[in-house]
Structure 1
Amino acid sequence: MKLKETWDYVRKFYRMIRKDHPTVLFYVILGGILKGFIPYISLYYSSKILDALLASDVELAKMHIMILLASTFLLSCIERACYQSMSVIAESSYYAVWKQTAHKAYVMEYEEFEKTETMDKIRRAKNGSNGSGGVESQISSSYILVSNYTSIFCSLVFTIQLLIQSRNSSNFIIYTIILLLVFIAFMTMENYMQKRLAKIEVTMQRDNEHMNSLSAYIISSALDVQNGKDIRLYRMKDLINYWYYVFNKKINQVFKKYADTAGTYYGIIAFFMQIFTAFVYIYVGLSVLDGNISIGDVLLYTGSITRLSTTFNEAISGYNQLVYRFEYLGNFEEFINSKNMHYEGTLPIEKRDDYQYEFEFKNVSFKYPNTDNYVLKNIDLKLKVNQRLAIVGQNGAGKTTLIKLLCRLYEPSEGEILLNGINIEKYDYKEYTDIFSVVFQDFKLFPLPLDENIAGSSDVDEDKCLEGLDKVSLKEKVLSWPEKQHTRLYKDLGDGVNISGGEAQKIAIARALYKDAPFVIMDEPTAALDPLAEAEIYENLNQLVNDKTAIFISHRMSSCKFCDEIIVFENGEITQRGTHESLLEEEGLYQQLWNAQAQYYV
């Protein structure tokens, strides 16, 4: 990665972190500089103390000792404070970044959020963080890297000072040329090996990302309560253990291959570092013999030059790790700062007690991004107020997609959708979604208290919550639970109750009723219910939705009998519409679907 690219990553990364922790750069830079600088204070004053003692100037030695102790103590305290503050920020930044990511997921358009490439970026960032370090590791590495660069700068300052002091020596040019040649050779060799190691490490980390994700999936599957029944009844324990062993064996092979190569390279680097250190001692010793520097300066200059070589090694390695992490951590920043494409509307939704809202689809077509096939084609449709509308058709006909377009989870590829004569894109998005209560076939309940699931908030109207549960015939059951409607669902976050699929579907319907929106949309609302419970829901349909407009998508044709109008979809187009009785008399898909299921009703 080029230096400019790295700088752009650094700038964007810390811009993301500073949203929640504006002081992070202050602690990283100040603490890193002090960490790199403090050892040179010790080297400098130790050399002065030694020279003073050799000159029998005890008072001067005492003064240098006091300065050394005071400055080291003061600066070390500041550095430790910076380090601790940085560590706290680094730890909490992990959660801050995920909070920003979750917030973006809430507000970005669903169509973009649902894309495979969008989710792949987040998965890669998560897997990379698990295998090679995440946000907190990157901040800590930045701290160390600032320290390394500070140390290199200080080493160069003292090395240049040594060269200046030795310039009058008759053998200065020879000594210096030899030292510089050895130094250049050592640094060139080390830089070459570190680059080779960096490439190998990147390959290893990328392989490890994939293997880590597979291994983590196996573990999460084994610990998922929902999988427990199948694992036991089909004796799958050994199968899961086998695949966990396979993935971990591959992980170990990846690490071993890298460790063998890295061990060889680091061994070579350490060997040449010792040779270079020997040349440094010889050079400094010759400078002492020529009278260019004092005995005490031996400590200063040998320490400075040897620290230069070791710190240079650490800086290259740290920089490579930093750059690699940016490859996947940059996905967080890109996701968080991505633009919302269509949620720019500002018009408020008119609040109407009579629910007089009229929707119209005008020549609406839709196809998913990067595909050529239309899911919906040339849809013209008006939704009447207070209507009970059923949408039927075979799988893949476009029924659920129509609802997602209506709810602005997707935007039409062609045509427009109007609310009271105005394109829905012009309305404020939050206000617009407030007029819908939806139960999708893949609805989600969370392992939180039941009443909070229904209210979608920790602020619950308990009477309204119980009223909704009563309408779906769950009130009596819920009141028998340990904490009644406050009981936690499932066991993911602690003690809770596991509920059946039918009970979950009733709770989802109760949640839709609690919202009390003028449009009620139910996508396969009774798929998990038994026939008696389904009949009860539809028989009480008018009481459930009152004077609201209701749209039902169902594969159970019996549910259509309760609706005012039925729309039949085939291959993304509306092919039939009418009442249950009129469509039964008309040859077409509805008649075929009804006849196919009618034998089971009898």
Structure 2
Amino acid sequence: MNSIKTQIRHWYLLWHYYKKEFFYFSLAPLAKALLPLLQLYFMARMIDLIVKGRIEDLPTWAIYTVLAIFSSQWIQVIAQGAVNYYTGKIYIKSQHIFSKKYREMDVKTAEDSGTMEALSNIRQNNNTFGFGIEHPLWMAERLIQGIVLIIGSLLLTISFFQQPVQKSEWAYLNGAWFDYGVIGICLCLTGINIYLSQKANDGFIKISDEFKLGNRVASYFQFRMAFQSERFLDSRIYEQDKIMEKTRHSYPFAKGNAFDRYKRQIHGKEVAISAMLSRIQFILIVLLVGAKAYAGAFSIGYLTRYIGSIHQFVIGFGLLAGVILEYRLNIPYAKKAMDFLDIRSDMYTGSLTTEKRTDRKYELEFRGVSFRYPGSENFVLHNLNLRFEIGKRLAIVGQNGSGKTTFIKLLLRFYDPDEGEIMLNGIDIRKYRYDDYLKIFSVVFQDFKLLAYPVGQNIAGSMHYDLEKLNRCIEAVGLTEKIAGWEKGLDTYLYTNVEEDGIEISGGEAQKIAIARALYRDAAFIILDEPTAALDPIAEAEIYERLGDIVSDRSAIFISHRLSSCKFADRILVFDEGRIVQIGSHAELYQGGGKYRQLWDAQARYYQE
């Protein structure tokens, strides 16, 4: 029952996502399959007319023949053109379906190792074997051809069994057992072919894990890593190119590897035996039809028709049976893809909208918040209690692993706390609409990403933007002169991924653009995670001197390992092992000693010596 439900769901999704493709991928093989049947029928009639001396009917049947074949070929050409067009788009659409699903997941689900592994397997199965939801589209040609050939050839062959031989010495050919026996043998040979094909498929499945691993290794080292410009210097110094060369032997198609062994030991034998059995089938069909024609059962004009139609029936049977087996083979892979699309977020999202305040006076508070990552028994944060001061600059410091970034993730509700609650204006943030809650934050993540699009669109996050507002944000981060010096100004593309005349920017410039992007969002809270990590000391000092103008009346939170930046903060939180161990200004914390003083002195001594 579950298998039937899976298949029904599979065909529903296939139709839902690929309506147009399904139509054209069915129409093209339909026209293609009809063509040989039409040729057999009309050519047999015309040869029969010639044999019987009915020459006067030939022009009419010639016209019928031309019109039928032309119509079939015309439909096939039109449909095949559409198939060629959509073939390139199926992969893009498939990537869009799964990437859209992934982007819509909550962070907890998206970062889960099981989710990532599932997505990786789906993409590998699709890229390597073609298996997945859309796989029946690739089988459509053989499926439709098989069905049409079986039905069409049966219609053309019915009269073959109804016409008795005229020569008495060949009377035994009139026995149905003889005709059906020969055709039965041909179908048995087809069954053997199908069995061999299934065994070959099973052999391929057995090496699939080795195949996929080798494919991943080779794809990474040979097709991606080899062309990464940022790796060029390391490759030159540490001779990484030699490692890349050795990975060529991991490629599945390399001699002695998975696919090479499969081709030589399994697939090669299957192809050779199948070809031999197909020849035997054809010989048996020719002998059967030829014997009955010689015995006077029908005229020579029908000889080619019956040979062709019976042979087409056997071919159609083989195609249909092979498609059914292949479809069954694809079901587990399609189910994995459907299971991924069925993943539901377990993060509760409320219905309240955040209050729209022009004065940006939002009150945020952590009340007894503790948190541990899914699957872990160890708490990363312990009993945090904190009220954010409106319009103030808050710095968060601490050693790596002390919980700083996790603190920000909870604030942005990428995860929900295991204990306690986070309040916005006195209401648990889980009761707000998630998309609406996020609008009060602008964030510059430590590993932020910019798009290979014009710099203006990057900052605005939109194709259209307020130019005056954009220029204020650019001026705030000190990029006005830099961008003005580019030939296309705000229309200059970043990087060369999309536009050949795009520009490569430094890490510091990218960081300034990211900060400008956060300013343009104009949110009540601005969060900066290592905002000056890629800047030189002078540029860093410039940013912090401008921090008042940059933040304006926003509440600012920034994480930094450079404690000198904390001087610009109104208040500093010191994290240690998931707890807030100190709170105060730079002067208060420095004079008070403790963890902050320890961190400060550890950095300062390198500048003093």
TM-score, normalising length: structure 2:
0.88
* Residue of structure 2 in register with 1:589 after alignment: 595
Match of 2:263 in 1: 259
- Are 2:60 and 1:56 aligned? no
Match of 1:460 in 2: 465
Q: Give a deviation string over 1:476-505, Cα, whole Å, max 9, x none.
A: 233223333332223333233322222222
User: Structure 1 residues 383 and 323 mapped into 2: Cα distance closer, same or farther (>3 Å)?
Assistant: farther
CA distance in 2, matches of 1:125, 1:306: 39
2: distance between equivalents of 1:576 and 1:387? Answer: 17
Residue 128 of structure 1 contacts residue 325 of structure 1 at CA under 8 Å; is this kept in 2?
no
Structure 1 residues 310 and 461: CA distance shift in structure 2, 3 A: same
Aligned length: 598
Q: Which amino acid aligns with 1:76?
A: Q
2:352 is paired with a residue whose SS is coil
Q: Which amino acid aligns with 2:215?
A: N
Spell out the pairing of 1:229-308 with structure 2 (5 A cutoff): 229-244=233-248, 246-247=250-251, 250=254, 253-260=257-264, 261-289=266-294, 291-308=296-313
Mind listing any 5+ residue stretches in structure 2 that lack a counterpart? none
List per-residue Cα deviations over 1:519-559 (Å, max 9, x = no partner). Answer: 01011112222233323322332221011111111222222
**CA deviation map 1:174-207 (0-9, x unaligned):** 4135314413431331121011111123345554
Identity value in percent: 35
One-letter amino acid matched to 2:502: G
The 3-state SS of whatever aligns with 2:231 is: helix
Equivalent residue, structure 1, for 2:202: 199
Map 1:346-365; keep pairs closer than 5 Å: 346-365=351-370
Q: Report the Cα distance in structure 1 between the residues aligned to 2:181 and 2:431, rounded to whole angstroms.
A: 75
Farther-moved stretch of structure 1 (85-94 vs 128-137): 128-137
Residue number in structure 1 paired with 2:11: 11
> Does the CA-based 8 Å contact 1:50-1:61 persist in structure 2?
no
Shift in CA distance, 369/68, structure 1 to aligned 2, threshold 3 Å: farther
Task: Quote how far apart the aligned CAs of 1:111 are.
Answer: 2.2
Letter in 1 for 2:14: Y
Pairing 1:217–2:215 present: no
Change (3 A) 1:549 1:473: same
Shift in Å, 1:162: 3.2
* Aligned twin of 2:29: 32
How far residue 326 of structure 1 moved from its aligned partner, in angstroms, is 6.4
Contact persistence 2:250–2:257 (CA under 8 A): no
Worse-superposed segment, 304-313 or 70-79: 304-313
Query: 432, 436, 454: which is aligned to 2:437?
Result: 432
Tell me which amino acid in the other structure corresponds to 2:218: S
The root-mean-square deviation of aligned C-alpha atoms, in Å, is 3.1
CA distance in 1 between counterparts of 2:454 and 2:137 reads 37
* 1:154 equivalent in structure 2: 152
Q: For the residues of structure 2 that align with 1:294 and 1:426, how far apart are their CA atoms? A: 85
Q: Do the aligned partners of 2:421 and 2:428 also contact (CA within 8 Å) in 1?
A: yes
Match in the other structure for 1:144? 142
* 1:3-36 Cα distance to aligned partner (Å, 9 max, x none): 8488447515523533xxx333222333332322
User: Aligned ranges for residues 442-453 of structure 1 at < 5 Å?
Assistant: 442-453=447-458
Alignment pair present for 1:122 and 2:119: yes
Partner SS for 2:528: strand
Matched, 1:421 2:426: yes
State how 1:398-417 maps to structure 2 within 5 Å: 398-417=403-422
Secondary structure, counterpart of 1:23 in structure 2: helix
> Does the Cα contact within 8 Å between 2:217 and 2:250 map onto a contact in 1?
no
Residues 105, 173 of structure 1: CA spacing in aligned structure 2 closer, same or farther, 3 A cutoff?
closer
Local SS of the residue matching 1:499: coil
1:79-94 correspondence to structure 2 within 5 Å = 79-94=76-91
Match for residue 377 of structure 2?
A: 372
- 2:187 equivalent to 1:190: no
TM-score, structure 1 as length reference? 0.89
**CA 1:156/1:501 → structure 2, altered by over 3 Å: closer, same or farther?**
same
User: What is the Cα deviation at residue 248 of structure 1?
Assistant: 6.5
SS in 1 for 2:251: helix
Q: CA deviation at 1:284?
A: 2.0
Residue 521 of structure 2 corresponds to which residue in structure 1?
515
Instruction: Measure, in 2, the Cα distance between the counterparts of 1:344 and 1:531.
Output: 43
Which deviates more, 429-438 or 95-104?
Answer: 95-104
- Kindly indicate whether the alpha-carbon contact (under 8 Å) linking 2:365 and 2:387 is maintained by their aligned counterparts in 1: yes
Would you say 1:481 and 2:486 are equivalent positions? yes
How far apart are residue 403 of structure 1 and its match? 1.0
Pairwise CA distance, 1:392: 1.9
Deviates more, 1:39-48 or 1:408-417: 408-417
* Matching residue of 1:551: 557
Deviations 1:253-282 (A, max 9, x none): 333322222222221122122222222222
Is the 1:43–1:300 Cα contact (8 Å) retained in structure 2?
yes
Q: Following TM superposition, by how much is the alpha carbon of 1:461 offset from its aligned partner in structure 2, in angstroms?
A: 2.9
Higher mean alpha-carbon deviation, 319-328 vs 461-470, is at 319-328
1:598 is aligned with what amino acid?
Answer: A
Between the aligned partners of 1:492 and 1:322, the Cα distance in structure 2 is 39
